[in-house]
Structure formats: C-alpha cells, structure tokens
Amino acid sequence: MSNLLQRIGVDVPEPVRRFLEGDLDSWLRVEEYREDGTLVVKAEVPGINPESDVEINLVGNQLQIGVRREERSEHKDKEGYHSEFRYGTFSRSVTLPAGVTQDDVQASYRDGVLEVRVPLPEEAVSGPRRIPITRG
C-alpha cells in the first residue's frame, strides 16, 4: 500500500509506512495494571539508553512517556555491503487519577523494560448510596 502511495507521488511518513507494511514492532507498546495501591506502567523498549532516549513527564493528570529509538544494521557478504538506519520517536499517555504528584512517580529500566510506578491516592471507601429522585 505504501509503495503505491509513493509511486503516485504521496510522501508517506515513516511511522505510517511501517504501520501499512505491518512493521508494528517499532511502536511503543505499554502495559498498565494496578498492584498494591500502585499504578504500574511498563513499556518494552530494548536497546535504548534510558538517560538520553526516554522522557517521562506528568502534565496535569497525564503521564507522558516518550522514547527515541534508533536501529542500525549492517550486512557484509561476498556480494557487497548493505546498511540500514531506522529511527523514530514514539509516545504514549496514561490518564492518572487526581491527587498524584510528580514526586510520587518512580521510573526504572531493566532488561529492556521501562517501568513507571505511581502510588495511587487513597480513595474514600463507602458503601453504595441511594440517590433520591425528586418530581418536578
């Protein structure tokens, strides 16, 4: 599909081209779950330098994770040399409940997995409450 678009003169951005060609392994996949009063967000991002390639921000109630990724591959054989360079910036946002502060957010990177842990504020626990209906 993207080859057709390129042939008719349409410039296809790299992320769109990858999506159309089925190359989804370059997209930022995120898993989120709750564990013991903490929201855990994990992203599989092997081969990056977390100090320079990852940016995590808390904007309002949005946890924003941005990852810059570069891949290089070289193939040398008796027929010649082939080199490929792929890069991109991928991001995801996760909505957090009210009351989370930036000081509460912790992030770590281990074995190609970025993990962000956000302690969740305690919610008032109360039983069901019936809402009265008034007639007008």
Is residue 93 a contact partner of residue 62, using CB atoms and an 8 Å limit?
yes
Give the dihedral sign, CA 122/119/43/91.
positive
CATH number at residue 49: 2.60.40.790
Select from 136, 33, 30, 48 the least CA-distant residue to 93. Answer: 30
pLDDT tens per residue across span 114-131: 999 999 887 655 678 888
Domains contained in the chain, number: 1
Q: What is the pLDDT of residue 25?
A: 46
Q: What is the pLDDT of residue 119?
A: 92
pTM for the model stands at: 0.63
* Structural domain for 67, as ranges: 29-119
Helix and strand numbers, DSSP H then E, in the chain: 3, 7
Residue 133 lies in a domain: no
What stretches in the chain show pLDDT beneath 50?
Answer: 1-2, 4, 22-26
In a domain, 92, yes or no: yes
Establish if 88 belongs to a structural domain. yes
Q: Is residue 24 part of a domain?
A: no
> What is the rounded distance in angstroms from the CA atom of residue 92 to the CA atom of residue 83?
30
